[in-house]
């Protein structure tokens, strides 16, 4: 018997796989798929950052566009740590294509355009003590 | 300058509230003290946000930037790097005083939405004794260093508290090459979500020690070690169980408290259990025209609920009526830690109320009972309820024959 916690959604079902390989206590199909994968080839989404050359945005958050094999996470982190980004990217842009030959891309999860200078700050307040 | 609605705080709650008020044709000002919108979600780079709202597992930046994209398409005024110093009540609503790069100024507003989020408990608030070396961080501060600054603040650390941010930082620090010796939790039960215990600790072989706490810190300039001790049921350290662990970092994940200094300064009544304002079903506080949403109201476990409360608060803030309110308290009885809203305004619709509640302890086969004037009007059975997991109910109070003098209570009891 094996116990695991489903990480697909916030319900966090405590799934049991009994000695016959039957999957119990999953509230939905995605949980059954998760439990099957978890016992054969566990997968995770990798969320991390890559370094940039910009002082106002020293690291850019990124994630894998789909789940990768859990066993490949350390190698994936090494690949991320070797990146130094020297252009301002938008959200969803590919940072590493086909990381480790997995067929999965590393994509940006934030727009580097969103710094304060791009948002209008109207000076419309009545001045105090002016 | 005059606005219908001023939203204070540019995190997920403030963004959703401002957009919702704007959709009702209110003129809206959004005030944010940081240089970028997004609040804490900027540094929450892990995924799991937005499953309820978008049906997708987004990271924090992706979730908040969807709202920032939308906000920038509107005519909502945004003031960044702006800090609200004082709120003054007057005949036309409120004067909001603030400071920013242009100096000190104020604007006039009819309604306010407080979306100021929450703060982390610090080492001083959990009574850790010893010297004051560097290397003691709240989980959020460590997260700021790693995820926004790209700096690793510790090499070998202990995490105190099993809150979700602590668990997520245990994984994050490990992935970045730091050694996380263990997570220590004073309570006999973990306070984080089960899926975070699984994917953040179990995945990386990080041990969780329940009924243990940090009793002392050592080090002059920099932390060199911490003392760990087992605690009894009253969370008091048990003598002769002390152990010294060498480390250069202590990360605290010991709870969040709604930030309500501004609310208190304008006499908004605070609920002792949530530590946020007492609110009615429209998310209006005890002060007319002052609304509250998100983690400033109560600490949520899903950002989706933060957004939902903020959409309601924002929408309602656009329609201020000056009619008097008739407030009925929803009393949290046995088994219930708190409910939000905690009061109902009987002069407003009560037919579609979203009621959030938390169980006060772990309960199995629990029967939730809503009583109106001593009659059980609604019941629901839950197989398991845990305090870290917030529950949500849609209730039509109009069908329960309530009056302004009704007594309303919610309770949870274990049944066979």
CATH number of B154's domain:
3.50.50.60
Structure tokens at A66: 């789909």
| pLDDT tens-place string over residues B326-374 | 999 999 999 999 999 999 999 999 999 999 999 998 899 999 999 999 9
Chain B residues with beta carbon closer than 8 angstroms to that of A10: 48, 51-52, 193, 195, 301-302
Q: Would you place residue A120 in the very low, low, confident or very high pLDDT band (cuts 50, 70, 90)?
A: very low
My answer on whether B220 and B318 are in the same domain is no
CA-closest candidate to residue B227, choices B130, B365, B101, B345: B130
SS3 assignment, position A57: coil
Mutation choice for B interface testing from A35, A61, A115 by most B CBs within 10 A: A61
Least Cα separation, residue B156 to chain A (angstroms): 18
Q: Degrees (nearest 5) of the Cα angle A54, A56, A60?
A: 65
Q: How far apart, in whole angstroms, are the C-alpha atoms of residue B315 and residue B302? A: 21
My answer on whether B179 and B218 are in the same domain is yes
My answer on whether B199 and B131 are in the same domain is yes
For B304, nearest residue in chain A (alpha carbons):
A10
- What is the reported pLDDT for A130? 39
A59 to B199: CB separation less than 8 angstroms, yes or no? no
Bridge-based pairing of strands A59-64 and A47-52 is antiparallel
B100 to A5: CB separation less than 8 angstroms, yes or no? no
Count H helices and E strands in chain A, helices first: 2, 11
Chain A residues with beta carbon closer than 8 angstroms to that of B302: 10
CA-closest candidate to residue A110, choices A130, A100, A95, A98: A95
For B71, nearest residue in chain A (alpha carbons):
A119
Interface predicted TM-score (ipTM): 0.89
Looking at every residue in chain A, the average pLDDT score rounds to 86
For B173, nearest residue in chain A (alpha carbons):
A48
Bridge-based pairing of strands B408-414 and B327-332 is parallel
My answer on whether B284 and B352 are in the same domain is no
My answer on whether B335 and B404 are in the same domain is yes
Mutation choice for A interface testing from B194, B203, B204, B302 by most A CBs within 10 A: B194
B79 at the A interface (CB within 8 A)? yes
- What is the reported pLDDT for A22? 86
| pLDDT tens-place string over residues B287-335 | 999 999 999 999 998 999 999 999 999 999 999 988 899 999 999 999 9
Is pLDDT of A11 > 90?
no
Is pLDDT of A121 > 60?
no
Q: Which domain holds residue B16?
A: 1-119+256-322
Domain count for chain B, please give it: 3
Q: How far apart, in whole angstroms, are the C-alpha atoms of residue B311 and residue A122? A: 25
B81 at the A interface (CB within 8 A)? yes
| pLDDT tens-place string over residues A75-116 | 999 999 999 999 999 999 999 999 999 999 999 999 987 665
B 190-229 → A contacts, CB under 8 A: 193-195, 197-199, 203
B 157-186 → A contacts, CB under 8 A: 175-176
Cβ atoms of B45 and B147 within 8 Å: the answer is yes
Q: Would you place residue A127 in the very low, low, confident or very high pLDDT band (cuts 50, 70, 90)?
A: low
- In chain A, where the domains are located: 2-40, 47-117
My answer on whether B1 and B113 are in the same domain is yes
Is pLDDT of A123 > 80?
no
Nearest to B46 among A47, A73, A127 (CB): A47
Chain A residues with beta carbon closer than 8 angstroms to that of B78: 119-121
- What is the reported pLDDT for A117? 46
Tell which of B201, B226, B254 closes a domain: B254
B66 at the A interface (CB within 8 A)? no
For A52, nearest residue in chain B (alpha carbons):
B150
My answer on whether B250 and B284 are in the same domain is no
B87 at the A interface (CB within 8 A)? no
A21 or B87, which is more confident: B87
B398 at the A interface (CB within 8 A)? no
Under CATH, to which class is A47-117 assigned? alpha beta
For A3, nearest residue in chain B (alpha carbons):
B198
- What is the reported pLDDT for B239? 95
My answer on whether B92 and B46 are in the same domain is yes
Q: Degrees (nearest 5) of the Cα angle B158, B362, B285?
A: 90
Tell which of B268, B287, B322 closes a domain: B322
Nearest to B78 among A48, A119, A129 (CB): A119
My answer on whether B282 and B242 are in the same domain is no
Nearest to A114 among B68, B100, B195 (CB): B68
Q: How many Cβ pairs within 8 Å bridge chains A and B?
A: 119
For A91, nearest residue in chain B (alpha carbons):
B62
**0.95 cut: is pTM over it?**
no
- What is the reported pLDDT for B294? 97
My answer on whether B302 and B360 are in the same domain is no
Looking at every residue in chain B, the average pLDDT score rounds to 94
Least Cα separation, residue B260 to chain A (angstroms): 24
Is pLDDT of A13 > 50?
yes
| pLDDT tens-place string over residues B161-170 | 999 999 999 9
My answer on whether B240 and B284 are in the same domain is no
């Amino acid at each position: 018997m094996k116990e695991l916690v489903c990480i697909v959604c916030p319900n966090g079902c405590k799934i049991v796989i009994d000695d016959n390989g039957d999957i119990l206590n999953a509230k939905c199909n995605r949980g059954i798929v998760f439990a099957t994968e978890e016992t054969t080839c566990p997968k995770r989404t990798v969320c991390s950052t890559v370094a940039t050359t910009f002082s106002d945005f020293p690291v850019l958050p990124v994630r894998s566009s789909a789940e990768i094999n859990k066993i490949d996470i350390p190698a994936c982190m090494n690949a991320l740590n070797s990146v130094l980004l020297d252009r301002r990217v938008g959200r969803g842009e590919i940072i590493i294509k086909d990381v480790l030959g997995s067929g999965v891309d590393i994509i940006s999860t934030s727009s580097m355009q969103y710094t304060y200078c791009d948002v209008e700050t109207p000076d419309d307040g009545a001045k105090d003590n002016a | 300058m005059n606005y219908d609605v001023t939203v204070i705080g540019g995190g997920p709650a403030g963004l959703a509230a401002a957009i919702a008020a704007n959709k009702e044709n209110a003129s809206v000002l959004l005030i944010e003290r940081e240089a970028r919108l997004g609040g804490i979600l900027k540094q929450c780079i892990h995924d799991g946000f937005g499953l309820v709202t978008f049906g997708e597992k987004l990271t924090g930046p992706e979730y908040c930037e969807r709202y920032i994209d939308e906000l920038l398409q509107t005519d909502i005024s945004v003031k960044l790097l702006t800090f609200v110093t004082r709120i003054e009540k007057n005949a036309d609503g409120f004067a909001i005083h603030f400071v920013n790069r242009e100096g000190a100024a104020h604007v006039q507003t009819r309604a306010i939405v407080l979306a100021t989020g929450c703060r982390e408990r610090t080492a001083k608030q959990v009574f850790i004794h010893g010297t004051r070396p560097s290397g003691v961080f709240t989980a959020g501060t460590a997260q700021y260093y790693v995820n926004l600054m790209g700096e690793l603040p510790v090499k070998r650390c202990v995490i105190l508290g099993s809150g979700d941010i602590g668990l997520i930082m245990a994984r994050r620090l490990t992935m970045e090459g730091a050694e996380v010796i263990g997570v220590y939790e004073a309570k006999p039960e973990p306070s984080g979500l089960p899926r975070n215990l699984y994917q953040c600790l179990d995945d990386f072989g990080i041990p969780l020690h329940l009924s243990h706490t940090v009793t002392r810190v050592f080090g002059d300039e920099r932390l060199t070690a911490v003392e760990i001790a087992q605690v009894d049921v009253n969370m008091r350290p048990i003598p002769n169980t002390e152990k010294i662990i060498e480390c250069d970092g202590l990360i605290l994940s010991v709870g969040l408290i709604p930030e309500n200094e501004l609310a208190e300064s304008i006499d908004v009544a605070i609920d002792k259990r949530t530590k946020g304002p007492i609110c009615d079903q429209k998310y209006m506080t005890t002060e007319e025209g002052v609304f509250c949403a998100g983690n400033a109201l109560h600490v949520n476990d899903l950002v989706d609920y933060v957004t939902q409360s903020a959409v309601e608060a924002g929408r309602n803030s656009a329609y201020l009526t000056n009619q008097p309110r008739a407030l009925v308290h929803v009393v949290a009885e046995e088994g219930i830690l708190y409910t939000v809203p905690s009061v109902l305004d009987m002069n407003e619709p009560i037919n579609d109320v979203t009621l959030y509640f938390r169980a006060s302890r772990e309960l199995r086969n629990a029967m939730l009972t809503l009583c109106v004037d001593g009659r059980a009007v609604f019941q629901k059975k839950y197989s398991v309820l845990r305090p870290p997991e917030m529950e949500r109910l849609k209730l039509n109070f109009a069908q329960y024959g309530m009056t302004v003098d009704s007594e309303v209570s919610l309770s949870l009891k274990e049944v066979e």
